[in-house]
Chain A
Amino acid sequence: EIVLTQSPDFQSVTPKEKVTITCRASQSIGSSLHWYQQKPYQSPKLLIKYASQSMSGVPSRFSGSGSGTDFTLTINSLEAEDAAAYYCHQSSSLPVTFGQGTRLEIK
């Protein structure tokens, strides 16, 4: 099973700040890495697929990069509405797995 480790687990940030969340895979997964946003009491929402492909309707301040074992989700100029938990997910092999999540709090 491929283990995904996100960092940090929690971050408290101010609006307009730049945020970087990393996801490290226990073995190479190519670009089969996806990012989701989950706001309280809501279902997860796909933000970025295959490491860097932004989903339609997702604000341009969200971007993804990386390949192999190291991946990054970047949020430029954070907004209050970005308060949420963020999860990475690998679909390189079964069982697919998720990172433990990163919770963003807006100060």
Chain B
Amino acid sequence: QVQLVESGGGVVQPGRSLRLSCAASGFSFSSYGMHWVRQAPGKGLEWVAVISYDGSNKHYADSVKGRFTTSRDNSKNTLYLQMDSLRPEDTGVYYCAKDTRGLLGAFDYWGQGTLVTVSS
């Protein structure tokens, strides 16, 4: 069965960096676009970034552009989110999600999420 398992969350001071990972299994990882979606405490869902199946195409929300970078290692079935210059407003649960198509499909599988807290 399809599994997405995020890791790497934690408490970090403003201005510091953190790298999240999402380990995928149960499907052909190298065939699908992958997304990052976050959810601030008690708030709704906010799309963060997407990467194409081969890593050649990436797009970001304006709120993270220039600070966050997504990448993937298809040999390891793993998705990454490098988060630099973190701000308190980046606090939340970060989910990775599988696209049903390339970059613009529904999100049919989600990880359990990893909590990032940005605080001094």
Contact = CB atoms under 8 A, between A and B. Distances in A.
- Which of A46, A91, A93 has the largest count of B CB atoms less than 10 A from its CB? A91
A41 B24 CA distance: 21
Taking chain A's interface residues, is the majority helix, strand, or loop, or is none over half, making it mixed? Answer: loop
Contacts of B62: 95
Contacts, number: 58
Given A94-B50, A95-B59, A95-B62, A34 B106 contact: yes
A71 interface: no
A43 B113 contact: yes
Given A49-B100, A91-B104, 14 more contacts: A34-B106, A34-B107, A36-B45, A36-B107, A43-B110, A44-B45, A44-B107, A87-B45, A89-B106, A91-B105, A94-B59, A96-B35, A97-B47, A98-B44
